[in-house]
Protein backbone atom coordinates (compact mmCIF):
# COMPACT_ATOMS: atom_id res chain seq x y z
CA UNK A 1 0.00 0.00 0.00
CA UNK A 2 1.27 3.41 -0.91
CA UNK A 3 1.97 5.94 1.89
CA UNK A 4 -0.69 8.56 2.50
CA UNK A 5 1.52 11.23 4.03
CA UNK A 6 2.22 11.96 7.72
CA UNK A 7 0.43 9.79 10.25
CA UNK A 8 -2.49 11.33 12.05
CA UNK A 9 -2.50 11.43 15.83
CA UNK A 10 -3.43 8.06 17.33
CA UNK A 11 -2.56 6.10 14.16
CA UNK A 12 0.28 3.59 13.73
CA UNK A 13 2.44 2.77 10.73
CA UNK A 14 1.81 -0.82 9.61
CA UNK A 15 5.26 -1.33 8.09
CA UNK A 16 6.93 -0.10 11.28
CA UNK A 17 4.91 -2.53 13.41
CA UNK A 18 5.87 -5.41 11.09
CA UNK A 19 9.57 -4.47 11.16
CA UNK A 20 9.58 -4.54 14.97
CA UNK A 21 8.02 -8.00 15.15
CA UNK A 22 10.18 -11.09 15.73
CA UNK A 23 11.28 -12.97 12.63
CA UNK A 24 10.02 -16.26 14.02
CA UNK A 25 6.49 -16.50 15.34
CA UNK A 26 5.27 -19.54 17.23
CA UNK A 27 1.62 -20.13 16.46
CA UNK A 28 -0.55 -22.13 18.78
CA UNK A 29 -1.87 -25.27 17.07
CA UNK A 30 -5.54 -25.17 16.11
CA UNK A 31 -7.35 -27.78 18.15
CA UNK A 32 -10.86 -27.15 16.88
CA UNK A 33 -11.50 -25.95 13.32
CA UNK A 34 -15.02 -24.91 14.30
CA UNK A 35 -13.78 -22.21 16.66
CA UNK A 36 -14.59 -18.62 15.68
CA UNK A 37 -11.90 -17.10 13.46
CA UNK A 38 -13.46 -13.82 12.34
CA UNK A 39 -16.37 -11.65 13.41
CA UNK A 40 -17.97 -9.29 10.91
CA UNK A 41 -20.90 -6.99 11.48
CA UNK A 42 -23.74 -6.65 9.04
CA UNK A 43 -26.95 -4.68 9.11
CA UNK A 44 -28.33 -5.38 5.65
CA UNK A 45 -31.78 -3.83 5.58
CA UNK A 46 -32.86 -5.01 9.01
CA UNK A 47 -31.59 -2.24 11.28
CA UNK A 48 -29.06 -2.83 14.06
CA UNK A 49 -25.80 -4.56 13.03
CA UNK A 50 -25.43 -8.23 13.89
CA UNK A 51 -22.09 -9.96 14.46
CA UNK A 52 -21.52 -12.79 11.98
CA UNK A 53 -19.30 -15.58 13.31
CA UNK A 54 -17.13 -17.28 10.69
CA UNK A 55 -15.13 -20.32 11.82
CA UNK A 56 -11.69 -21.48 10.65
CA UNK A 57 -13.36 -24.34 8.78
CA UNK A 58 -15.84 -22.03 7.09
CA UNK A 59 -13.10 -19.70 5.87
CA UNK A 60 -10.70 -22.28 4.45
CA UNK A 61 -13.50 -24.20 2.73
CA UNK A 62 -14.77 -20.96 1.20
CA UNK A 63 -11.27 -20.23 -0.10
CA UNK A 64 -11.01 -23.70 -1.67
CA UNK A 65 -14.47 -23.39 -3.21
CA UNK A 66 -13.68 -20.02 -4.79
CA UNK A 67 -10.23 -21.14 -6.02
CA UNK A 68 -11.81 -24.11 -7.79
CA UNK A 69 -14.79 -22.18 -9.16
CA UNK A 70 -13.12 -18.93 -10.26
CA UNK A 71 -9.78 -20.59 -11.15
CA UNK A 72 -7.49 -18.39 -9.10
CA UNK A 73 -3.77 -18.94 -9.85
CA UNK A 74 -0.43 -17.76 -8.53
CA UNK A 75 -0.06 -15.45 -11.54
CA UNK A 76 -3.09 -13.42 -10.45
CA UNK A 77 -2.51 -9.84 -9.29
CA UNK A 78 -5.61 -8.52 -7.56
CA UNK A 79 -6.33 -4.90 -6.71
CA UNK A 80 -8.32 -4.55 -3.49
CA UNK A 81 -10.67 -1.74 -4.43
CA UNK A 82 -13.19 -2.70 -1.79
CA UNK A 83 -12.11 -2.27 1.88
CA UNK A 84 -11.32 -5.54 3.64
CA UNK A 85 -14.05 -4.86 6.20
CA UNK A 86 -16.64 -4.96 3.40
CA UNK A 87 -18.39 -8.16 2.36
CA UNK A 88 -16.75 -7.93 -1.08
CA UNK A 89 -13.30 -7.71 0.48
CA UNK A 90 -12.79 -10.22 3.24
CA UNK A 91 -13.02 -13.52 1.38
CA UNK A 92 -10.26 -12.57 -1.04
CA UNK A 93 -7.28 -12.46 1.39
CA UNK A 94 -7.62 -16.18 2.13
CA UNK A 95 -8.31 -17.14 -1.49
CA UNK A 96 -5.51 -15.23 -3.19
CA UNK A 97 -2.94 -15.96 -0.46
CA UNK A 98 -3.65 -19.69 -0.69
CA UNK A 99 -2.61 -19.80 -4.36
CA UNK A 100 0.34 -17.41 -3.94
CA UNK A 101 -1.12 -14.48 -5.88
CA UNK A 102 -0.25 -10.83 -5.31
CA UNK A 103 -2.36 -8.42 -3.25
CA UNK A 104 -2.32 -4.75 -4.22
CA UNK A 105 -3.96 -2.52 -1.64
CA UNK A 106 -5.75 0.75 -2.32
CA UNK A 107 -5.90 3.39 0.38
CA UNK A 108 -8.71 5.45 -1.13
CA UNK A 109 -11.05 5.12 -4.11
CA UNK A 110 -9.65 7.64 -6.60
CA UNK A 111 -10.33 6.57 -10.22
CA UNK A 112 -6.98 7.77 -11.71
CA UNK A 113 -5.10 5.94 -8.92
CA UNK A 114 -7.00 2.72 -9.65
CA UNK A 115 -6.23 2.96 -13.37
CA UNK A 116 -2.57 3.74 -12.67
CA UNK A 117 -2.21 0.74 -10.35
CA UNK A 118 -3.82 -1.57 -12.91
CA UNK A 119 -1.13 -0.49 -15.35
CA UNK A 120 1.86 -0.43 -12.97
CA UNK A 121 1.07 -3.61 -11.03
CA UNK A 122 -0.24 -5.52 -14.07
CA UNK A 123 -3.53 -6.26 -12.33
CA UNK A 124 -5.40 -9.31 -13.65
CA UNK A 125 -8.55 -9.17 -11.50
CA UNK A 126 -10.53 -6.43 -9.86
CA UNK A 127 -13.55 -6.84 -7.56
CA UNK A 128 -15.77 -3.78 -7.06
CA UNK A 129 -19.31 -2.52 -6.62
CA UNK A 130 -21.12 -0.99 -9.63
CA UNK A 131 -20.55 2.58 -8.42
CA UNK A 132 -16.76 2.12 -8.64
CA UNK A 133 -16.90 0.78 -12.19
CA UNK A 134 -19.21 3.63 -13.20
CA UNK A 135 -16.66 6.10 -11.80
CA UNK A 136 -13.80 4.40 -13.70
CA UNK A 137 -15.74 4.51 -16.96
CA UNK A 138 -16.44 8.21 -16.45
CA UNK A 139 -12.79 9.06 -15.63
CA UNK A 140 -11.46 11.48 -18.29
CA UNK A 141 -7.93 10.02 -18.05
CA UNK A 142 -8.99 6.40 -18.58
CA UNK A 143 -7.72 6.02 -22.15
CA UNK A 144 -4.23 7.18 -21.12
CA UNK A 145 -3.60 3.94 -19.20
CA UNK A 146 -2.68 0.46 -20.43
CA UNK A 147 -5.26 -1.92 -18.96
CA UNK A 148 -4.40 -4.88 -21.18
CA UNK A 149 -3.41 -7.19 -18.30
CA UNK A 150 -6.91 -7.06 -16.81
CA UNK A 151 -8.67 -10.40 -17.36
CA UNK A 152 -11.73 -10.16 -15.15
CA UNK A 153 -13.94 -7.48 -13.61
CA UNK A 154 -16.06 -9.06 -10.87
CA UNK A 155 -19.14 -7.01 -9.95
CA UNK A 156 -20.99 -7.50 -6.66
CA UNK A 157 -22.47 -5.75 -3.66
CA UNK A 158 -25.39 -4.23 -5.59
CA UNK A 159 -27.46 -5.07 -8.67
CA UNK A 160 -25.68 -4.53 -11.99
CA UNK A 161 -27.10 -3.87 -15.44
CA UNK A 162 -26.55 -5.15 -18.95
CA UNK A 163 -25.46 -1.65 -19.93
CA UNK A 164 -22.70 -1.64 -17.31
CA UNK A 165 -21.46 -5.12 -18.27
CA UNK A 166 -21.28 -4.02 -21.91
CA UNK A 167 -19.46 -0.76 -21.17
CA UNK A 168 -16.86 -2.49 -18.94
CA UNK A 169 -16.05 -5.14 -21.54
CA UNK A 170 -15.82 -2.62 -24.37
CA UNK A 171 -13.75 -0.09 -22.40
CA UNK A 172 -11.42 -2.43 -20.49
CA UNK A 173 -11.18 -5.34 -22.93
CA UNK A 174 -11.78 -7.92 -20.17
CA UNK A 175 -14.55 -10.29 -19.12
CA UNK A 176 -17.10 -8.69 -16.78
CA UNK A 177 -19.21 -10.98 -14.61
CA UNK A 178 -21.61 -10.64 -11.71
CA UNK A 179 -21.23 -12.57 -8.48
CA UNK A 180 -23.42 -12.95 -5.41
CA UNK A 181 -22.79 -13.50 -1.75
CA UNK A 182 -23.53 -12.30 1.75
CA UNK A 183 -21.71 -11.62 4.98
CA UNK A 184 -23.28 -14.78 6.34
CA UNK A 185 -21.87 -16.93 3.52
CA UNK A 186 -18.19 -15.93 3.71
CA UNK A 187 -19.24 -14.38 1.11
CA UNK A 188 -19.28 -15.80 -2.48
CA UNK A 189 -21.90 -18.44 -3.29
CA UNK A 190 -22.69 -17.90 -6.98
CA UNK A 191 -21.20 -16.34 -10.09
CA UNK A 192 -22.08 -15.87 -13.75
CA UNK A 193 -18.98 -17.05 -15.63
CA UNK A 194 -19.90 -18.22 -19.14
CA UNK A 195 -19.73 -21.99 -19.62
CA UNK A 196 -17.89 -23.83 -22.38
CA UNK A 197 -21.14 -24.50 -24.21
CA UNK A 198 -21.67 -20.73 -24.55
CA UNK A 199 -18.57 -20.11 -26.71
CA UNK A 200 -20.66 -19.90 -29.89
CA UNK A 201 -23.25 -17.57 -28.38
CA UNK A 202 -23.71 -14.07 -29.72
CA UNK A 203 -21.95 -11.43 -27.61
CA UNK A 204 -25.27 -9.88 -26.54
CA UNK A 205 -26.59 -13.29 -25.48
CA UNK A 206 -23.44 -14.05 -23.47
CA UNK A 207 -23.55 -10.69 -21.70
CA UNK A 208 -27.20 -11.19 -20.83
CA UNK A 209 -26.08 -14.33 -18.99
CA UNK A 210 -23.16 -12.60 -17.26
CA UNK A 211 -25.39 -9.92 -15.74
CA UNK A 212 -27.45 -12.56 -13.93
CA UNK A 213 -26.66 -13.72 -10.40
CA UNK A 214 -25.31 -16.96 -11.83
CA UNK A 215 -25.11 -20.55 -10.68
CA UNK A 216 -23.92 -21.92 -7.35
CA UNK A 217 -20.20 -22.36 -6.82
CA UNK A 218 -18.66 -25.69 -5.82
CA UNK A 219 -19.68 -26.77 -2.32
CA UNK A 220 -22.91 -24.78 -2.24
CA UNK A 221 -26.58 -25.67 -2.65
CA UNK A 222 -29.09 -22.95 -3.52
CA UNK A 223 -32.88 -23.06 -3.63
CA UNK A 224 -35.47 -20.39 -4.41
CA UNK A 225 -38.50 -20.87 -2.15
CA UNK A 226 -41.98 -19.38 -2.10
CA UNK A 227 -43.79 -18.27 1.07
CA UNK A 228 -44.86 -21.88 1.71
CA UNK A 229 -41.25 -23.08 1.71
CA UNK A 230 -41.70 -24.82 -1.66
CA UNK A 231 -39.32 -24.52 -4.61
CA UNK A 232 -40.53 -22.01 -7.18
CA UNK A 233 -40.98 -23.09 -10.78
CA UNK A 234 -37.76 -23.00 -12.84
CA UNK A 235 -39.33 -20.64 -15.36
CA UNK A 236 -37.39 -17.44 -14.58
CA UNK A 237 -40.70 -15.80 -13.69
CA UNK A 238 -41.90 -17.00 -10.28
CA UNK A 239 -40.17 -15.05 -7.50
CA UNK A 240 -39.00 -16.55 -4.21
CA UNK A 241 -36.43 -16.15 -1.45
CA UNK A 242 -32.89 -17.48 -1.91
CA UNK A 243 -31.95 -20.16 0.62
CA UNK A 244 -28.41 -21.55 0.94
CA UNK A 245 -26.96 -24.73 2.43
CA UNK A 246 -23.19 -24.97 2.55
CA UNK A 247 -20.15 -25.34 4.77
CA UNK A 248 -19.47 -21.65 4.11
CA UNK A 249 -22.58 -20.51 5.99
CA UNK A 250 -21.86 -18.71 9.27
CA UNK A 251 -21.87 -20.41 12.66
CA UNK A 252 -24.46 -17.90 13.79
CA UNK A 253 -24.99 -14.32 14.96
CA UNK A 254 -22.85 -13.32 17.93
CA UNK A 255 -24.88 -13.50 21.17
CA UNK A 256 -28.13 -13.46 19.20
CA UNK A 257 -29.65 -16.97 19.17
CA UNK A 258 -33.09 -15.65 18.23
CA UNK A 259 -31.82 -14.00 15.04
CA UNK A 260 -29.74 -17.10 14.27
CA UNK A 261 -32.74 -19.41 14.55
CA UNK A 262 -34.78 -17.09 12.35
CA UNK A 263 -32.09 -17.00 9.64
CA UNK A 264 -31.01 -20.67 9.68
CA UNK A 265 -33.91 -23.15 9.55
CA UNK A 266 -33.62 -26.88 8.91
CA UNK A 267 -30.01 -26.42 7.82
CA UNK A 268 -30.81 -23.69 5.27
CA UNK A 269 -29.81 -20.04 5.55
CA UNK A 270 -32.60 -17.71 4.40
CA UNK A 271 -31.00 -14.72 2.70
CA UNK A 272 -33.86 -12.23 2.47
CA UNK A 273 -32.99 -11.77 -1.22
CA UNK A 274 -35.68 -12.36 -3.83
CA UNK A 275 -34.88 -14.06 -7.13
CA UNK A 276 -36.08 -16.20 -9.99
CA UNK A 277 -34.36 -19.32 -11.32
CA UNK A 278 -34.32 -20.80 -14.81
CA UNK A 279 -34.13 -24.40 -16.04
CA UNK A 280 -30.32 -24.32 -15.93
CA UNK A 281 -30.33 -23.34 -12.25
CA UNK A 282 -29.15 -19.79 -12.99
CA UNK A 283 -30.38 -17.17 -10.54
CA UNK A 284 -31.62 -13.67 -11.29
CA UNK A 285 -31.82 -11.36 -8.29
CA UNK A 286 -35.03 -9.34 -8.26
CA UNK A 287 -34.56 -7.35 -5.05
CA UNK A 288 -34.13 -7.46 -1.32
CA UNK A 289 -37.45 -8.42 0.28
CA UNK A 290 -37.30 -5.16 2.24
CA UNK A 291 -36.71 -3.09 -0.92
CA UNK A 292 -39.77 -4.24 -2.86
CA UNK A 293 -42.13 -1.34 -3.60
CA UNK A 294 -45.79 -2.30 -3.16
CA UNK A 295 -48.01 -0.06 -5.28
CA UNK A 296 -51.71 -0.74 -5.45
CA UNK A 297 -51.09 -4.33 -4.35
CA UNK A 298 -48.51 -4.92 -7.11
CA UNK A 299 -44.87 -5.72 -6.27
CA UNK A 300 -42.30 -3.53 -8.03
CA UNK A 301 -38.59 -4.37 -8.00
CA UNK A 302 -36.50 -1.23 -7.60
CA UNK A 303 -33.57 -3.05 -9.26
CA UNK A 304 -35.65 -3.84 -12.34
CA UNK A 305 -36.64 -0.19 -12.76
CA UNK A 306 -33.03 0.92 -12.22
CA UNK A 307 -31.81 -1.48 -14.92
CA UNK A 308 -34.35 0.00 -17.35
CA UNK A 309 -33.09 3.50 -16.57
CA UNK A 310 -29.45 2.45 -17.00
CA UNK A 311 -30.19 1.44 -20.59
CA UNK A 312 -30.83 5.13 -21.44
CA UNK A 313 -27.66 6.61 -23.02
CA UNK A 314 -27.69 9.71 -20.79
CA UNK A 315 -27.90 7.93 -17.42
CA UNK A 316 -24.70 7.64 -15.39
CA UNK A 317 -26.18 6.61 -12.02
CA UNK A 318 -29.67 6.13 -10.67
CA UNK A 319 -31.62 4.92 -7.64
CA UNK A 320 -35.30 4.05 -7.35
CA UNK A 321 -37.16 4.23 -4.06
CA UNK A 322 -40.76 3.92 -2.91
CA UNK A 323 -42.49 7.00 -1.49
CA UNK A 324 -45.87 7.12 0.27
CA UNK A 325 -48.90 7.81 -1.89
CA UNK A 326 -52.47 8.32 -0.68
CA UNK A 327 -54.03 6.46 -3.61
CA UNK A 328 -51.57 3.64 -4.26
CA UNK A 329 -49.87 3.21 -0.89
CA UNK A 330 -46.42 3.57 -2.49
CA UNK A 331 -45.16 4.72 -5.88
CA UNK A 332 -41.68 4.44 -7.41
CA UNK A 333 -39.58 7.61 -7.66
CA UNK A 334 -36.24 7.78 -9.48
CA UNK A 335 -33.17 9.88 -8.76
CA UNK A 336 -30.85 10.17 -11.76
CA UNK A 337 -27.37 11.55 -12.44
CA UNK A 338 -26.64 12.25 -16.11
CA UNK A 339 -23.36 11.53 -17.86
CA UNK A 340 -21.16 14.60 -18.36
CA UNK A 341 -22.08 16.45 -21.53
CA UNK A 342 -25.52 14.84 -21.87
CA UNK A 343 -29.02 16.05 -21.22
CA UNK A 344 -32.42 14.47 -20.86
CA UNK A 345 -35.80 15.26 -19.34
CA UNK A 346 -38.03 13.67 -16.75
CA UNK A 347 -40.65 12.94 -19.39
CA UNK A 348 -38.09 11.33 -21.70
CA UNK A 349 -36.78 9.02 -18.97
CA UNK A 350 -40.27 7.96 -17.88
CA UNK A 351 -41.18 7.24 -21.50
CA UNK A 352 -37.97 5.23 -21.90
CA UNK A 353 -38.86 3.02 -18.92
CA UNK A 354 -42.45 2.75 -20.15
CA UNK A 355 -41.13 1.19 -23.36
CA UNK A 356 -39.60 -1.68 -21.35
CA UNK A 357 -41.79 -2.23 -18.29
CA UNK A 358 -45.45 -2.29 -17.33
CA UNK A 359 -46.99 1.15 -16.78
CA UNK A 360 -47.41 0.72 -13.01
CA UNK A 361 -43.66 0.05 -12.62
CA UNK A 362 -42.62 3.35 -14.21
CA UNK A 363 -41.35 6.12 -11.92
CA UNK A 364 -43.92 8.80 -11.24
CA UNK A 365 -41.20 11.44 -11.00
> With the CA atoms of 69, 70, 71 and 75 taken in that order, what torsion angle do they form, in degrees rounded to the nearest 10?
-160
Task: Give, as one character, the DSSP assignment of residue 214.
Answer: B
3-state secondary structure of 117: helix
Mind giving me the DSSP string for 74-110?
TT-EEEE-S-TTSTTTSSHHHHHHHHT-EEEE-SS--
β-strand partners of 190: 180, 216
Up-side HSE of residue 36: CA atoms within 13 Å toward CB?
11
- pLDDT tens-place string over residues 23-69: 887 778 888 999 999 999 886 544 577 899 999 999 999 999 999 99
Task: Give, as one character, the DSSP assignment of residue 176.
Answer: E
pLDDT at 45: 44
pLDDT at 4: 60
pLDDT at 230: 97
Q: How far apart are CA 327 and CA 324, in angstroms?
A: 9
Q: How far apart are CA 69 and CA 58, in angstroms?
A: 16
**Backbone φ and ψ of 48, nearest 5°:** -65, 140
**Residues of the chain with confidence (pLDDT) below 70:** 1-5, 43-47, 88, 289-290, 297
In sequence order, which ranges of 12-55 are alpha helices (DSSP H)?
A: 14-19
Q: What Å distances lie between residue 221 and 169, 184, 216, 224, 225, CA to CA?
A: 30, 14, 7, 10, 13
Task: Give, as one character, the DSSP assignment of residue 28.
Answer: P
CB-based contact 328:184 (threshold 8 Å): no
pLDDT at 301: 81
> Would you identify the CATH topology of the domain 36-289?
Rossmann fold (3.40.50)
CB-based contact 38:60 (threshold 8 Å): no
In the chain, ranges of CATH 3.30.300.30 domains: 292-361
Domain 292-361 CATH assignment equals 3.30.300.30: yes
Question: Which helix or strand (DSSP H or E) is residue 165 part of?
Answer: helix 162-172
pLDDT at 2: 58
In the chain, ranges of CATH 3.40.50.12780 domains: 36-289
Amino acid sequence: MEPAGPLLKGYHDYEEIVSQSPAEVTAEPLTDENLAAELFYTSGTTGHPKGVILSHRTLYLHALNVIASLRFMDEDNLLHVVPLFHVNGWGTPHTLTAVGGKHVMLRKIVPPDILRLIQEERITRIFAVPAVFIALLACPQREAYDLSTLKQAFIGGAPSSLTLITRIEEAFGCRAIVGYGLTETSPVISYACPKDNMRDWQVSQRRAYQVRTGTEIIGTQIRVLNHKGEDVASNDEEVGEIAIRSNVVMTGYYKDPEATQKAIRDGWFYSGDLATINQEGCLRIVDRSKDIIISGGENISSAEVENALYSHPAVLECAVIGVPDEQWGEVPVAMVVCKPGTQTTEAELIQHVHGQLAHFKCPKT
